[in-house]
Homo-oligomer: A and B are copies of this chain.
Amino acid sequence: MNNDLIILGHGSGGRLSHQLLDELIIPILGDNGVAGQNDAALLDPPPGRLAFTTDSYVVDPVFFPGGSIGSLAIHGTVNDLAMMGARPLYISVGLIIEEGFSKADLEFILRDMRQAADQAAVRIVTGDTKVVPHGKVDKIFINTSGIGVIGHDLPISGSNAQPGDKIIISGTIGDHGIAIMANREGLKLDTEILSDSAPLNSLVDAIIAEAFSNLHVLRDPTRGGVATTIKEIAQQSGVSITLYEENMPIKPAVRGVCSILGLDPLFVANEGKLLAFIAPETAEQVLNVIRQHPAGRDAAIIGAVTGTEAGRVQMETIIGGLRAVEMLAGEQLPRIC
């Protein structure tokens, strides 16, 4: 038995499971004294409504420029909570590991999770580990669920976009999807493209502090990209939206890979960007606040709510025309997150 690899017994619930927990998982993720070896964590939440979210991460490859499946799994769930205007507090970690996966790689992923959690000021409080036979899962999948608390009454929601709202993107688009794609395709690039995977909760705090009730919608444009997310919001809120191609922040290297591969960056996934819909009178101030935040330096106003025709999205192109924007059809890039 090779002691450097994960074996089925590590998922048995028996002696080897305890060994993996005691030697690797708990020392790195920390049990924080809340779960111990019980079946659930006991938590004292501050008063307020709770936000509760879940996401599974199946990204391929598990290590990519700018992150790993571990940090991605923390950032994604932190951001889902932050997009509700919640303060992320507690995270659960469900690992599904392929028999034969390297313990060293697992250790790297766990350390990356812990670091991401510390950076976002969330606590990993409970978890579960399953091991499945070789060939029954591809390397490692991770589920993170999260609990946050909402200490305000702002109706931040995908259904709260209002005519006149300006739409801010917090930075360049398409970085995550293109980082994964370039890595998977083995493209040789002059400038390495890094995933933008990052926690957005402190940026959200800054936006709320500036905008208060003038903040109507927050959403992170992950799978399906900016186009799909904007279309969703237009449908949910019953409004029409115009985007301005000219204002869309895109890194030249990302634009380059997109044109080589025939991809539209508007449909490419982001993992560290948010869209904020802000009442027009406050939009410039909020944009300035976002640009002063490390996670928002390239922020721009990329569109506006321009009418009440539910679900209609169009883009003013650089050459001056208008084109309809639809949701991503089919699958552009499997296992992006």
Say whether B327 contacts A18, CB under 8 Å: yes
| C-alpha spacing A39/B143, complex, angstroms | 15
**A39 & B84 in contact (Cβ 8 Å cutoff):** yes
* Chain A, interface residues (CB within 8 Å), range: 35 or more
CB-CB < 8 A to A141: which residues of B? 96, 137, 141
A128-164 residues with Cβ-Cβ distance < 8 A to B are: 128, 130-133, 135-138, 141, 143, 145-148, 150, 157-159
Identify the stretch in A101-109, A215-223, A239-247 within 8 Å (CB) of chain B at 4 or more residues.
Answer: A215-223
A296 at the A/B interface (Cβ < 8 Å)? no
Q: Is A51 an interface residue (CB 8 A)?
A: yes
Residues of B within 8 A of A136 (CB): 58, 60, 137-138, 335
- Interchain CB contact under 8 A, A331 and B8: yes
- A50 CB–B CB distance under 8 Å: yes
Residues of B within 8 A of A220 (CB): 39
Q: Which residues of B contact A267 (CB under 8 A)?
A: 14
Scoring A residues 1 to 25 as 1 if CB is less than 8 Å from chain B, else 0, what string do you get? 0000001110111111110000000
A50 to B43, CA, bound (A): 5
Chain B residues with CB below 8 A from A319, complex form: none
A68 proximal to B (CB < 8 A): no
A58→B334 CA distance, assembly (Å): 21
Are A224 and B13 also in contact (CB < 8 A) when A54-B93, A86-B40, A334-B131 are?
yes
Q: Is the CB of A236 within 8 A of B37?
A: yes
Q: Is A316 an interface residue (CB 8 A)?
A: no
A80 touches B49 (CB 8 A): no
CA distance A304 to B50 in the complex (A): 41
Partner of A334, one of B8, B49, B79, B329: B8
Give per-residue flags for A312-337: 1 if the beta carbon is below 8 A from chain B beta carbons, else 0.
Answer: 00000000000000111111101100
In the complex, what residues of B have CB within 8 A of residue A42's CB? 49-51, 84, 150
Known: A18-B232, A43-B49, A55-B128. 9 other contacts (CB 8 A): A14-B332, A16-B331, A36-B159, A40-B51, A41-B52, A60-B136, A96-B96, A135-B138, A137-B141
Which residues of A line the B interface, CB within 8 A?
7-9, 11-18, 36-45, 49-56, 58, 60, 79-81, 83-84, 86, 90, 92-96, 125-128, 130-133, 135-138, 141, 143, 145-148, 150, 157-159, 219-220, 222-224, 228, 232, 236, 267, 269, 326-332, 334-335
